Amino acid sequence: QEIKFDKGKKYILGGIEVTGVKSYNTQTVITYSGLRVGQEITVPGEQITNVIKKLWKLELFSDVTFYIDRVEDDKIFLELHIQEVPTLSSVKIEGLKKKKGEAVLKEADIKKGKRVTESFITNTRNFLVNKYKKQGFLHARASITPIPDTSAVNAVKMLVSINKGDKVKVKDITFDGNEALKDKTLRKAMKNTKRKVFGRFWKKSKFIPEDYKEDLTSLIDKYKEKGYRDARIISDTVIDNKTNKISINIDLEEGDKYYFGKIDFVGNTVYSDRQLASVLGIEPGDTYNGVLLRKRIQDNTKPDGEDITNLYQNNGYLFSSINPVEISAKNDTIDFEIRIIEGKLAYFNDVRVSGNDKTNDHVIYREMRTRPGQKYSKENVIRTIRELGGLGYFDQEAVVPDIKNANPDAGTVDIEYGLTEKGSSQIELQGGYGGGGFIGTLGLSFSNFAIKDLFNKKAYKPVPMGDGQTLALRLQASRFYQTYSFSFSEPWLGGKKPTQFSASLSHSRQFYYDWRTGRPDKSQRFYITSLTFGLAKRLEVPDDYFTLSHALSFQYYDLENYNIGLFGFGSSGYAKNIAYTIALSRDNRFPKLIYPRTGSRFTISARVTPPYSLFDGVDYGNLENEEEFWEKDDDGNVVYDDDNQPVADVQKIEQEKIKWLEFYKIKFDGEWYNRLVGDLVLKTSANFGYLGAYNQDRGVVPFERFFLGGDGMANYTLDSRETIQLRGYPNQSLSPNIGSTIYNKFSMELRYPLTLKPSASIYGLVFAEGGAAFDSFKNYNPFQLKRSAGFGLRIFMPAFGLLGIDFGHGFDSIDGTGQKNGWETHFIIGQQF
Partner 1 sequence: CSQFQKALKSEDVKLKYDLAEKLYNEGDYKKANRLLEQIVPQYAGKPQGERVVYFHANAYYQTKEYYLAAYQFDRFSKSYPKSDKAEEAAFLGAKSYYMLSPKYSLDQRETNTAVDKLQLFINTYPDSEYLDEANELVRELRTKLEKKDFEIARQYNRISDYKAAIKSFDNFLSNYPGTPFREDAMYYKMVASYNLAVNSIYSKMQERLSHTRESYNTLKRYFPDTQYSDEAEKMMTVVNKELEQFSK
The string over 500-525, giving b where at least 16 C-beta atoms fall within 10 Å of a residue's C-beta and e elsewhere, is bbbebebbbbbbbbeeeeeebeeebb
State which residue, 2 or 540, has the beta carbon closest to partner 1: 540
Provide, rounded to whole angstroms, the least separation between the CB of residue 496 and partner 1: 6
**Angstrom distance (rounded) from CA 133 to CA 127:** 10
Provide, rounded to whole angstroms, the least separation between the CB of residue 350 and partner 1: 6
Provide, rounded to whole angstroms, the least separation between the CB of residue 349 and partner 1: 7
Residue pair 489/499 in contact by the 8 Å Cβ criterion: no
State which residue, 370 or 788, has the beta carbon closest to partner 1: 370
**Angstrom distance (rounded) from CA 186 to CA 180:** 10
Provide, rounded to whole angstroms, the least separation between the CB of residue 37 and partner 1: 13
Provide, rounded to whole angstroms, the least separation between the CB of residue 363 and partner 1: 9
Query: Which residues sit at the interface with partner 1, rule CB under 8 A?
Result: 27-28, 31-32, 349-350, 353-362, 365-366, 371-374, 466, 495-497
State which residue, 359 or 744, has the beta carbon closest to partner 1: 359
Nearest-CA neighbor of 246 among 132, 137, 95, 130?
A: 137
Nearest-CA neighbor of 51 among 64, 67, 69?
A: 64
**Angstrom distance (rounded) from CA 156 to CA 24:** 16
State which residue, 204 or 497, has the beta carbon closest to partner 1: 497
Q: How far is CA 816 from CA 53, 779, 820, in A?
A: 92, 15, 9
State which residue, 342 or 387, has the beta carbon closest to partner 1: 387
Provide, rounded to whole angstroms, the least separation between the CB of residue 362 and partner 1: 5
State which residue, 80 or 129, has the beta carbon closest to partner 1: 80
State which residue, 141 or 358, has the beta carbon closest to partner 1: 358
Provide, rounded to whole angstroms, the least separation between the CB of residue 374 and partner 1: 7
Provide, rounded to whole angstroms, the least separation between the CB of residue 493 and partner 1: 12
**Angstrom distance (rounded) from CA 617 to CA 397:** 63
Provide, rounded to whole angstroms, the least separation between the CB of residue 566 and partner 1: 48
Provide, rounded to whole angstroms, the least separation between the CB of residue 458 and partner 1: 10
Provide, rounded to whole angstroms, the least separation between the CB of residue 380 and partner 1: 12
State which residue, 458 or 778, has the beta carbon closest to partner 1: 458
Alpha carbon 382 to chain centroid distance? 16
Q: How far is CA 378 from CA 62, 305, 628, 738, 806, in A?
A: 53, 11, 74, 55, 41
State which residue, 28 or 825, has the beta carbon closest to partner 1: 28
Q: Is 334 exposed, middle or buried (0-12, 13-18, 19+ CB in 10 A)?
A: buried
State which residue, 360 or 476, has the beta carbon closest to partner 1: 360
Q: In what order do the strands lie in the sheet with 87-94?
A: 87-94, 155-163, 141-149
Helix (H, G, I), strand (E, B) or coil at 195: coil
- Those residues with Cβ within 8 angstroms of residue 10's Cβ, 6 or more apart along the chain or in another chain: 40, 41, 42, 74
For helices 209-225 and 290-297, angle between their N-to-C axes, nearest 10 degrees: 90
State which residue, 347 or 486, has the beta carbon closest to partner 1: 347
Provide, rounded to whole angstroms, the least separation between the CB of residue 353 and partner 1: 8
Strand partners, 765: 751, 792
Residue 637 exposure: Cα atoms within 13 Å on the Cβ side: 4
**Angstrom distance (rounded) from CA 593 to CA 386:** 12
State which residue, 497 or 675, has the beta carbon closest to partner 1: 497
**Angstrom distance (rounded) from CA 90 to CA 346:** 61
Provide, rounded to whole angstroms, the least separation between the CB of residue 17 and partner 1: 17
State which residue, 466 or 520, has the beta carbon closest to partner 1: 466
Q: What is the torsion angle, in degrees rounded to the nearest 10, for the CA atoms of residue 145, residue 146, residue 151 and residue 155?
A: 160
**Angstrom distance (rounded) from CA 651 to CA 569:** 7
Residue pair 262/283 in contact by the 8 Å Cβ criterion: no
Provide, rounded to whole angstroms, the least separation between the CB of residue 26 and partner 1: 11
Nearest-CA neighbor of 594 among 714, 759, 761, 755?
A: 761
- Tell me how long the chain is: 833
Nearest-CA neighbor of 43 among 18, 86, 79, 82?
A: 79
Q: DSSP class of residue 777?
A: G
State which residue, 113 or 617, has the beta carbon closest to partner 1: 113
Strand partners, 417: 353, 401
Q: In what order do the strands lie in the sheet with 232-240?
A: 169-176, 245-253, 232-240
